[in-house]
C-alpha cells in the first residue's frame, strides 16, 4: 500500500480487519474481493476504465470495461482490445461486489465507479467536473463512505468562470481577429476540450478548421450521434488565404512548430485551467489564455466531496498534499495516494513535448 500520510484503518465491523475494499497496489487501484483493477497503470487481467484519456485508459490489459459512450474513443486509441461496455447506473456484480458507473462530467462517457460490498460504499471519481458542459454526461454526486478524488486544481487560486462567459469571450476574440484580418488559432486537448469548444463556437462568424488529431476524435463522436458544428480538416490543398478571418482548433503540441506557419497573420490562444495564472500563459507565448477546464475547480472539488457525504477521502493526483491537508482541517479523514495519473493532457502543468 502506497498511502503516504497517516495510515487509515477501515471502520471496524464492516470489513475484515486490515482488508480494505480497495487497495492501492503497484499496478493501480485494486479490489481484492472482486479481483479487478480500476484505471490500472500496469498490465492486469481485468480493468474497469473511468474514461479514455491515456493516463487512465492504458494499453496492455487483458480485458477492459467502460461505459457505452466512452467505448468508441477507447477503441480508437487502444486498437484491438477485449472491451465490454456497460450503461450508466447498470450494476455489475463480481463475487458479491457490486460495481456501477456514474456520470463524472469530465468528457463524453467519463464515469465515477461506485463499488459496494456488504453495505460499504467507495467511489472512484476518476477525473471530474461539476459544471454541465452540454457534451459530457452531467456529473452526479454519489453518496459513499470513502471517496477517491483527483485534485488537479486543488488550490483556492483555481476558480472558473461559467462556460457560457468563457465561450462568449472566445467568440468576441474571434470576431475581433476577423475584423483585423487575422486567423484565430485555439490550442486545446484533442479529446474532450476540443469538442466542447466546437459546441460553443459561433459558426456564424466563419469556418472552423481542425487539426487532424482533433478531427479524428470529432469523426468518432459524430458516428456516436453527437452533434458538432461543421468542421474542415486542415490540409495542404487549402489555399492559405482561405484561413483569414476563420478559426483553427488544434492541439498544444503544434504550438511553436512549423504546422502553424500557414496561418498568417495570426492570433494564438491557449484554452486550459492553467491559464488562470499569468506566468503560465506568458510562458507559452500566446496572445490570449482562456480559462476553461474539464476538471473541477477549488469550489467544485469541495462541493463534490461534501455532496458524497464521505467521511474519508483519498487524494490521487494534482496538488495532493495541500488538498488533503485542507480536507483534514475540514474534519475529514484524508490521505494522499501515489498514482501514475495526471501525466497527460490538462493534468500536467508542464507542456507535453
Cβ distance to other proteins smaller for residue 105 or 154: 154
Among 33, 205, 228, 277, binds other proteins (CB under 8 A): 277
Cβ distance to other proteins smaller for residue 175 or 288: 288
> Cis omega (within 30 of 0) on the bond before 265?
yes
In this structure, are residues 117 and 92 in contact, taking their beta carbons and an 8 Å threshold?
Answer: no
285 in contact with other proteins (CB under 8 A): yes
Give the whole-angstrom CA distance, residue 4 versus residue 41: 18
Buried b / exposed e across 195-225, counting CB within 10 Å, b at 16+? bbbbbbbbeebbebbbbebbbbbbebbeeee
276 in contact with other proteins (CB under 8 A): yes
Smallest distance from the beta carbon of 341 to other proteins, in angstroms? 13
Cβ distance to other proteins smaller for residue 98 or 325: 325
Cβ distance to other proteins smaller for residue 184 or 217: 184
In this structure, are residues 311 and 145 in contact, taking their beta carbons and an 8 Å threshold?
Answer: yes
Question: Which residues are CB-neighbours of 105 under 8 A, at least 6 positions away?
Answer: 128, 129, 130, 131, 132, 133, 136, 137, 138, 139
Choices 3-11, 18-26, 196-204, 275-283; region in contact with other proteins by CB under 8 A: 275-283
Count of residues interacting with other proteins (CB under 8 A): 25
Smallest distance from the beta carbon of 124 to other proteins, in angstroms? 23
350 in contact with other proteins (CB under 8 A): yes
Smallest distance from the beta carbon of 184 to other proteins, in angstroms? 14
Cβ distance to other proteins smaller for residue 117 or 274: 274
The secondary element (H helix, E strand) that includes residue 316 is strand 312-318
Give the whole-angstrom CA distance, residue 140 versus residue 291: 23
89 in contact with other proteins (CB under 8 A): no
Give the whole-angstrom CA distance, residue 254 versus residue 305: 36
CA atoms 170, 151, 64, 69: torsion sign: negative
Longest Cα–Cα distance of the chain, Å, equals: 71
Smallest distance from the beta carbon of 121 to other proteins, in angstroms? 30
Choices 52-60, 105-113, 163-171, 283-291; region in contact with other proteins by CB under 8 A: 283-291
Single out the residue of 104, 94, 115 nearest to residue 50, CA to CA: 104
Smallest distance from the beta carbon of 105 to other proteins, in angstroms? 24
Q: Please report, as residue ranges, which positions from 113 to 172 form the binding site for other proteins (by CB under 8 A).
A: 155-157, 159
Give the whole-angstrom CA distance, residue 208 versus residue 228: 11
Choices 22-30, 194-202, 228-236, 343-351; region in contact with other proteins by CB under 8 A: 343-351
42 in contact with other proteins (CB under 8 A): no
In this structure, are residues 324 and 148 in contact, taking their beta carbons and an 8 Å threshold?
Answer: no
Q: Please report, as residue ranges, which positions from 302 to 341 form the binding site for other proteins (by CB under 8 A).
A: 319, 322, 325-326, 329
Cβ distance to other proteins smaller for residue 139 or 290: 290
> Where on the chain is the footprint of other proteins (CB under 8 A)?
155-157, 159, 274, 276-280, 282-283, 285, 287-288, 319, 322, 325-326, 329, 348-351, 353
Amino acid at each position: 500500500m502506497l498511502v503516504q500520510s497517516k495510515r487509515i484503518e477501515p471502520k471496524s465491523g464492516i470489513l475484515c480487519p486490515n482488508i480494505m475494499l480497495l487497495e492501492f497496489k503497484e499496478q493501480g487501484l485494486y479490489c481484492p474481493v472482486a479481483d479487478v483493477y480500476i484505471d490500472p497503470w500496469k498490465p492486469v487481467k481485468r480493468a474497469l476504465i473511468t474514461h479514455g484519456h491515456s493516463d487512465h485508459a492504458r494499453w496492455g490489459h487483458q480485458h477492459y470495461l467502460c461505459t457505452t459512450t466512452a467505448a468508441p474513443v477507447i477503441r480508437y486509441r487502444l486498437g484491438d482490445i477485449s472491451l465490454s461496455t456497460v450503461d450508466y447506473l447498470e450494476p455489475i456484480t463480481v463475487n458479491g461486489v457490486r460495481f456501477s458507473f456514474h456520470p463524472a462530467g469530465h468528457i463524453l462517457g467519463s464515469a465515477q465507479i461506485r463499488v459496494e460490498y456488504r453495505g460499504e460504499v467507495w467511489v472512484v471519481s476518476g477525473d471530474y467536473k461539476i459544471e454541465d458542459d452540454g457534451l459530457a454526461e452531467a456529473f452526479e454526486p454519489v453518496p459513499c463512505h470513502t471517496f477517491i478524488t483527483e485534485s488537479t486544481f486543488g488550490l483556492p487560486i483555481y476558480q472558473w468562470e461559467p462556460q457560457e462567459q468563457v465561450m462568449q469571450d472566445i467568440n468576441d476574440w474571434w470576431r475581433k481577429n476577423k475584423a483585423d484580418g487575422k486567423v484565430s488559432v485555439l490550442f486545446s486537448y484533442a479529446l474532450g476540450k476540443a469538442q466542447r469548444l466546437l459546441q460553443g463556437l459561433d459558426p456564424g462568424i466563419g469556418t472552423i478548421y481542425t487539426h487532424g488529431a482533433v478531427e479524428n476524435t470529432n469523426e468518432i463522436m459524430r458516428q456516436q450521434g453527437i452533434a458538432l458544428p461543421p468542421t474542415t480538416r486542415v490540409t495542404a490543398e487549402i489555399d492559405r488565404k482561405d484561413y483569414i478571418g476563420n478559426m483553427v482548433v488544434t492541439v498544444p503540441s503544434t504550438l511553436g512548430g512549423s504546422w502553424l506557419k500557414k496561418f498568417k497573420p495570426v492570433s494564438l490562444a491557449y484554452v486550459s485551467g492553467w491559464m488562470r495564472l499569468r506566468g503560465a500563459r506568458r510562458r507559452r507565448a500566446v496572445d490570449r489564455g482562456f480559462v476553461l477546464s474539464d476538471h473541477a475547480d477549488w469550489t467544485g472539488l469541495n462541493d463534490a466531496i461534501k455532496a458524497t457525504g464521505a467521511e474519508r477521502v483519498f487524494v490521487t493526483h494534482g496538488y495532493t498534499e495541500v488538498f488533503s491537508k485542507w480536507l483534514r482541517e475540514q474534519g475529514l479523514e484524508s490521505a494522499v495516494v501515489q498514482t501514475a495519473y495526471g501525466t497527460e493532457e490538462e493534468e500536467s502543468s508542464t507542456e507535453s513535448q
